[in-house]
Structure formats: C-alpha cells, structure tokens
Amino acid sequence: MAKGFYISKTLGILGIVLGIAAVCTIIALSVVYAQEKNKNAENSAEAPTSPTTTTTATTVATTLDQSKPWNRYRLPKALVPDSYLVKLRPYLTPNENGLYIFKGSSTVRFMCNEPTNVIIIHSKKLNYTKTNGHMVVLRGVGGSQAPEIERTELVEVTEYLVVHLKNSLNRGSMYEMDTVFEGELADDLAGFYRSEYMDGNVKKVLATTQMQSADARKSFPCFDEPAMKARFNITLIHPNNLTALSNMLPKGPSVPFPEDPTWNITEFHSTPVMSTYLLAYIISEFTSVETMAPNGVLIRIWARPSATMEGHGKYALNVTGHILNFFAEHYNTSYPLEKSDQIALPDFNAGAMENWGLVTYRENSLLFDPQSSSSSNKERVVTVIAHELAHQWFGNLVTVAWWNDLWLNEGFASYVEYLGADKAEPNWNLKDLIVPNDVYRVMAVDALASSHPLSTPAQEVNTPAQISEMFDSISYSKGASVLRMLSSFLTEELFKKGLASYLQTFAYKSTTYLDLWEHLQKAVDSQKTIELPDSVRAIMDRWILQMGFPVITVNSKTGDISQEHFLLDGDSNVTRSSKFGYLWIVHITSLRNDGPQKDFWLKDVAKTQDNLFKTGNGDWVLLNVNVTGYYLVNYDEDNWRKIQAQLQTNLLAIPVINRAQIIHDAFDLASARRIPVTLALNNTLFLVKEREYMPWQAALSSLSYFKLMFDRSEVYSFMQKYMKKQVTPLFYHFGNITNDWNERPENLMDQYNEVNAISTACSNGLPECERLVSNLFSQWMKDPNNNPIHPNLRSTVYCNAIAQGGVAEWDFAWDQFQKATLVNEADKLRAALACSKEVWILNRYLSYTLNPKYIRKQDATSTIISISSNVVGQTLAWDFIQSNWKKLFEDYGGGSFSFSNLIQGVTRRFSSEYELQQLEQFKKNNMDTGFGSATRALEQALEKTKANIKWVKENKEAVYSWFKDNSK
C-alpha cells in the first residue's frame, strides 16, 4: 500500500518555507505520511437491519476471558480455508431507511487440522439470515459428516462469527459453511463501501473495496489473516449499465439477473491462492484505456468517463508495461496474472492499494493531465504505480505471515519503487530522491527514544488498532532505507539473485523476514567476490531488531572511528532494551580530496582506529558516500572546517547527495547538542553558490525546524533576511534560464529547485518574487478560464498570492477549488487556501473540514494540518482539534492512519511549557474517547515538545546572533 498521506513535491518544497512540509530534524511526519501510512476510517453506524434478516445475539466482551478462543484476536490454527464462493449485490440507491446496503452469500470450504468443537471466523457489521435458527449451514465434503450446530453468536469486540458445535470436527476432513448476510454500503472507506462523486450536477455512486488490513470481514465472513490464504470465486450482481471488476477477468460476458433483467450477473475466474486483504471488487460506470503488453498481460487504466475521455489515464498506461517488465526481470519471475487493472477512485483513504490484479488509487496517484498537472504530480504517479506493482510479487505472490513483519512488505516496495520508476523515466535521477524522501524523513522519527524496531514480536500485534500502528514511517521508510543499504553492500546483482530464489521458493505461501535473509545468505555463499564480516542475518538483525541508528564519529587527526546510538535529545530515557547494546555492524564508504577509498566495516564495537580516516594537513575525509548507509556522520572540528572550505572554494569536488548530507547531518547533530548550532548554520553559507536541488532541499528541510521554533519570535526577522540573501542568486538564476519564468528547466531536479527558489524568495520577502506571484494570480483572476500559471509553479504561486492577498483572492481560489475537475489541481488549491493570513478566513476554512460537501473525508486531516502549518492558523487548528476530537475520532475512525499525522502536524510548533501543559491536558481529557492509531504519535508529540522547549532555551540566543551577523 502506498503512503496514504501524500504531500506533493511542489507542496512539500513550498511547505518548507510556508510550513506545509515535513520537518527533517526533530519534527517529522510519519509515513503514513501515512502513508500512508493507520489504514481505513471506520464508520460508527450499526450494521443495517431489514425485514429479511433476523437480529442476532451479540456478545460484547468488556473483560475478555482469554481462555475462550473467541476472545483472542488471533485465529486458532485448527481450521485452514481452502476456497470461497462469494456472491454480492450492492444497492447504489438508499433503501426505505435511507441506508445504502449490500446483500450477499458465501460458502467457505475449509480443512480441519486439529479436532475442534467451535468454528471461529471473522465477521464485522454483518447481519445474517438464519436457517433452522442458526446463522450458518454446515456440511461435510467428500464423505465426511458435519456435527450438529449447538448455537451461533457474533462477538463484537474480536469481530468474530462463532459457531458452537455439539461434537468436534475431524482432523483431515474438509467442510463447507454457507451464510446469507446483509451489510451497510457505508461511505467509510473501509471493506465494501460506496464512493460518491459529482459528474456535472449529477451525483454518481459506485461500490468499491479497501480490505487491508482487517476489513475483508466487513464484506463477507472470512478467515481474515494474511497467512490464511485461499482461492476466491467472486460473483457480482449489479445494474446492467455499470461495469463490474475484480481481481480476475470475468469467465465470460455478463448475463441478465433472472429476478430483475435491469441487473446483470458477472462471474469471475477463480483467483490464485491469496490473502483476504488483497481482494477487490468494484461496480461503476468507469471507462478504461488499455493495451496488451508484449508478455501477453492485459493492462487497463480505469477512471471516471470524463477523465478517461480527456486522456488522464494515458501516462499511467504508458509506464505500467515498462514497470511490469522491469520487475519480472528484477525478480526473475513472470507476472503471475493475466491482467493488471488500475483504477482511480474519488474517495480513497490510502495513497493506493496493491490488490492483486486490481490496484486501487487515489485519483492524484494514477491520473495525469499534461495541461494541469505538475512534474511532481507525474513523479507521484510513476513512483506509486511502481510501488504497487512491486507488491504484485513481493507481498501478493509471497506474503508476510503476520502484520508484525509489515516492514518487509512495505519497506521493500518503498525501496524498489525508485528502481521501477527509474526504469520508466531514466532521465529523472529518481533513485537519488530516496535520500530526502525516505532516509532523512524517517531518521527524524527514529532518532526519538519513543521509536520502535522495524520488526515487532508477533504477540505484541493483535488488535486492528495495533495492526494499524504498524503502517508508519518506520515500516515504510526505514524499511526502504535498510533494504537499500543491504542491496548496496551486497551489490544489486547479488541482492536480486537471493530475492529471485526467495520468491520462487515461497510463491503462493507466507513467510517471515528470516526466510529472505536465508536466501540472500545462499546467494552470498555461492560466490567469492563479496565478503561479509558476518552472516546476513547477524548484520541485519542489528538494524531491524533494535530501534534507531548510529552516529559514526571520526577523528581525522588520529583515525579513530566510533559509533553510538543517536538520539535527538541526548537526555531522553531509552526504556527499550536491546540485546545488541545499541551497537551495529556498519558498512562504511568514504571519500578524500583525491577520490574514493576502499570500504570499511565497523564490526559491532563502539570504537576502533583505521588510517583510512586519518588525514594530513590540507586533506579532508567524508563518510557515507551517496548516503547508502543508514547513519549520521560527525567529524572533529578541523575536518568540518576543511569540508566547509572545500564547499566555499569548489563545491563540485563533493558529490551532490553528500552536499545535502553535510547540511542534514550537521543540523541533526546540532539538535542533539553534539556540535554547536552555529557549525550547522555555517554549513549553509555555500548555498549562495549552489544551484542543485538536493542541497537546497536539505537546507530548507532542516531550517524549517528553525522557522517552526522561531517564527513567533524576534529571531525570525533576521532569519528571513539571511534566507533572502542566500536565495536571491538562485532566484535570478532560474529567472534567467527560464526566459523570465516563461519556460521550464529541462531537468526534473532543476524544475523542483525552481519551485524552491520561488517559494523561498517569496516567503522571505524578495520584492521581485512577490510581484511575480501577485501578477500571475491577478492575471488568472481577470480571466478565470485561462490559467497563465504553469502547473509546476501553481502550488507556490497560489499560496503566496493568497498569503499576500485578502478575501477576494481567497474566495476566487475557493471558487476554483469547487469547480476543479482534476484532483491534482484541487489538491494544490486546497493546500493554498490554508496560506491566508486572515484569522476569520482560516477559522471558516477549519469549519469546512467537518463538512464532506466542502472537503472530502479523505482530505480533512491533511487540510487541518495545512492550516496548522501556517503560523496564523497554528493556534486556531489546535483549538479546533481540542474542541472537535470526539467528533473527528467518531466520524473518521481511530483506525485511520491519518490520525497519527494529525497529531504530529498540529503539534510540530509546540515549544513552550504552556503548550506542553495543553498537550498533557488534551491527553487526559480524551482518555475515554481514545486516540486509536494516534496513540504512539501522541507520545512522540509529548517527547518532541519537551525536546523543543529545551532546544529553544539552549539555542535561541546563539541562533539570533548568527542570523543577525550573517544577514548583512
């Protein structure tokens, strides 16, 4: 699944100086970012009832008696599913009670592995039609006899349908169980749900699904755990003017439904053996563009008919074949299905979902309009497609046995998405973007004492809420970072060899991460070129079983090199012990003035010495070349000065990623009080000569923390003067190479840095920039049907123009937002509307987030975060959250991954004792309501607020003096 809470590149760049982006020092957005990333909003409505169903006894287990298997969240191992026959009929108009419902029937065939007198199967918010007084009908298969049913019940807390039997099922026998049921086709973005959108003035309704992680049970009764794989035979009954899609192709043309000829029946081929969370079925009027790949796979891109007609699916269609072919070669395993459908949904809580053969996306993650979409929108599309298609093998063909190893699934896809996207767009240098997007983003969270290891013991992950908490930035971005590091020191070819062996061995099965380590070790053992200091498992255990990462410290005078667990707050108390003592086996690459050096392994010791790191008078040494390692680097003061001198005289002597690293690492080290904050600030002086994106991005990301801490104090005036001084040459550079902003740079990274130049220059008061955005926006206001602003520049121009303007500019943008037919354009406007400096406008905008007619449910939390990122909106948004937490929690569901982002987003400026008290009181006041997937984020927010208070007290005076001295 792609990260759910997505900030576009241009919005992210813009937000660094205007507050929308993630903070890359102490504060960071979680991936599910989300990501994305913790899963689906739950609807608080009760399951519907109708005259045809019988209300059944429901057990509410307030105090769970763990001796009863139905009170445990994990399924017993006694029964294993073989196959399902599922027939569903969703009604896309409300019934007499005003509810949208679906009706269904299911037959599950299962094997009994251990004798048991109880059948426990997942069921959530379903009402069952009774037969002979029971909710199920049970029979034996192949001559076996089924015992009589004593009673059936629904256990609400653990989400089970429980069948109590008079005698036991027999080991080795197969059984079938039938159910007839009804559920609500709610608009809660979970399970089988409805999505609504406007086509002109006409409201359209479609039925779609989101099963991961624990909502297939909301669609039909099933053994809803990833290792409980089975074959699924899906039949959909639907209005005959709509199209039905599922994981597989239909067996043949749809046929009329005998009971009502205005409905059709579509029966699909049986799926391969697969997990419930990967099921999908959709009924809509959507249309597609399609092509047949050279390997015979049918590729289709589905969207609203108007979007298809306008060609918004063509880019996705063009890149999908390249990416599928790349992964088939990368994995040395053919794509397992006949077709690859991808569909853009108006209402979708995640960024995308890798359902096997029918991948679902937010519209902004699949559709691209060359007339209105920016380069970052295009990058978003190709990387999310690559992420989801990577899962078709890694996750779908081979699946993690339980959610505690989610990091392997999502971390892997988050790493190879860059490889797949790079194959589709080889001139974009996309592989480099993993450093700012994933490595640095997650380090901000992983450097906290409240972080957690990648792999969590299975017994600690049981409830749906605990599963949702796994979908965080550690799983996605740290997973990606350490797997990239592993691939780097093994070499990509060796990594691919072990990976192919793993996939071929475990196809259609479930695994743990240890199985992957075993196959990578076999690849290592099969050759002599790459020698490791220890086994793959021994090396990687230290990176996945203990939280955090090391800071590597070098003394260039002596050649001493040491490692230590890096914490942003060195005084914080690490309560989580590690059997490795927070030491790692670290692969270290390095560079000197005269070129690269041989690799070095720091082998599970705190300190050692090597002449690789000892320098002469004029020489400098630099570690972690191209940031392939997941660690920070600190040097003695003399080596820092030599690096700074090199950057001032000839910055090209240092690779561009390492120029970004020098800035990033120094600011993190300063936050942890390992170096003076002024040393980190001195590392930004060379930016006056820098034209590349990544160093500027690292600086703006790091300095965004200074903005958050100081934009309510006198420090900010001199900070703005310094930033204006540094960015002015960059602004003029892009003005020159773009023919006075009328053309776009050719290179993607230059296009991103052009946005950096404008957003930084405008937000720090460069008059030429303010005139540029004001003139462009006023031109558009005069002629609303002809937008003169290039899609790449729209986010920053919209935001700055609205910030400089008043109610006229805001109302115009709101009107354009409501009229926007392309979600990428709507997203840009929605974020920019949060840039107003008028309190009453921002308060009104906050109120809109609770009204789905104004702001879609999937966008509510990110809109509140955008408002809170505006210094004027910070207090307003926090007050709004405090006042409306219960309603937000109930309406949007505590399981939604966006709740952790919401807490992180609205608290990122907190840096006073008063704000800490407010946060503690908020926690106390809402204990009864709860925090769901935001529980961990709330603890992190408390920790970060305390760290912020301390940091401001220690650094405010020095920072004030430095900006004052260097802004002249």
Q: Average pLDDT of each block of 10 consecutive residues along the chain (968 residues)?
A: 52 41 31 28 28 41 79 97 98 96 98 98 98 97 94 97 97 98 94 91 94 96 98 98 98 96 97 98 98 94 96 97 95 96 88 96 93 91 97 96 95 97 94 96 93 93 90 94 98 96 97 97 97 98 97 98 93 92 98 94 96 93 98 97 96 97 97 94 98 97 94 96 98 96 94 97 96 97 95 96 96 96 90 97 95 88 94 95 86 63 91 95 88 82 90 94 96
Q: How far is the C-alpha of 216 from the C-alpha of 150, rounded, in Å?
A: 27
Helix, strand, or coil (residue 604)? coil
Residue 122 host element (H or E): strand 116-122
pLDDT at position 829 is: 97
Q: Residue 687 has what DSSP assignment? A: G
Q: How far is the C-alpha of 755 from the C-alpha of 700, rounded, in Å?
A: 12
Q: How far is the C-alpha of 84 from the C-alpha of 106, rounded, in Å?
A: 7
**CB within 8 A of 164, min separation 6: which ones?**
117, 118, 149, 150, 151, 152, 153
Q: How far is the C-alpha of 274 from the C-alpha of 500, rounded, in Å?
A: 19
Q: Residue 196 has what DSSP assignment? A: E
Q: How far is the C-alpha of 103 from the C-alpha of 871, rounded, in Å?
A: 49
User: Which pair of structure tokens corresponds to residue 778?
Assistant: 């006023």
Q: How far is the C-alpha of 828 from the C-alpha of 790, rounded, in Å?
A: 12
What backbone torsions phi and psi does residue 133 show, to the nearest 5 degrees? 80, 5
Residue 827 burial (10 A CB sphere; 0-12, 13-18, 19+): buried
pLDDT at position 325 is: 95
Give me the residue label for tokens 């196809």: 507
Q: How far is the C-alpha of 770 from the C-alpha of 799, rounded, in Å?
A: 11
pLDDT at position 36 is: 29
3-state per-residue secondary structure call for 613-666: HCCCCCCCEEECHHHCCCCEEEECHHHHHHHHHHHHHCHHHCCHHHHHHHHHHH
User: Which pair of structure tokens corresponds to residue 253?
Assistant: 């043309």
pLDDT at position 893 is: 60
pLDDT at position 569 is: 83
Q: How far is the C-alpha of 802 from the C-alpha of 814, rounded, in Å?
A: 11
- CA distances for 72 relative to 69, 211, 312, 359, 689, angstroms: 5, 21, 47, 32, 62
Q: How far is the C-alpha of 424 from the C-alpha of 291, rounded, in Å?
A: 16
Cα 150 to chain centroid distance, Å, stands at 46
Residue 667 host element (H or E): helix 656-671
Helix, strand, or coil (residue 553)? strand
User: Which pair of structure tokens corresponds to residue 949?
Assistant: 């208070």
Question: Which residues are paired to 193 by β-bridges?
Answer: 208
**CB within 8 A of 585, min separation 6: which ones?**
533, 534, 538, 539, 542, 601, 602, 603, 604
What backbone torsions phi and psi does residue 206 show, to the nearest 5 degrees? -130, 160
What backbone torsions phi and psi does residue 174 show, to the nearest 5 degrees? -105, 145
Q: Residue 173 has what DSSP assignment? A: -
User: Which pair of structure tokens corresponds to residue 956?
Assistant: 């405010």
Q: How far is the C-alpha of 300 from the C-alpha of 321, rounded, in Å?
A: 10
Is 0.75 surpassed by the pTM of this model? yes
Q: Give exposure, 406-445, as e/b (b: 16+ Cβ within 10 Å).
A: bbbbbbbbbbbbbbbbbbbbeebebebbbbbbbbbbbbbb
Q: How far is the C-alpha of 200 from the C-alpha of 202, rounded, in Å?
A: 6
On whether the CB atoms of residues 11 and 831 are closer than 8 A, the answer is yes
User: Which pair of structure tokens corresponds to residue 485?
Assistant: 């590091």
On whether the CB atoms of residues 802 and 817 are closer than 8 A, the answer is no
C-beta neighbour count of 76 within 10 angstroms: 14
pLDDT at position 897 is: 52
pLDDT at position 459 is: 93
Q: How far is the C-alpha of 661 from the C-alpha of 694, rounded, in Å?
A: 9
Taking alpha carbons only, the member of 764, 626, 828, 866 closest to residue 9 is 828
Would you say the C-alpha torsion 331, 334, 337, 342 has a positive or negative sign?
A: positive
Q: How far is the C-alpha of 830 from the C-alpha of 855, rounded, in Å?
A: 9
What backbone torsions phi and psi does residue 196 show, to the nearest 5 degrees? -120, 145
Taking alpha carbons only, the member of 430, 434, 431, 369 closest to residue 748 is 430
Q: Phi/psi zone of residue 581: left (φ > 0), alpha (ψ -120 to 50 degrees), beta?
A: left
- CA distances for 61 relative to 70, 75, 170, 771, 852, angstroms: 10, 16, 29, 64, 34
Q: How far is the C-alpha of 216 from the C-alpha of 231, rounded, in Å?
A: 14
By annotation, the residues acting in catalysis are 388
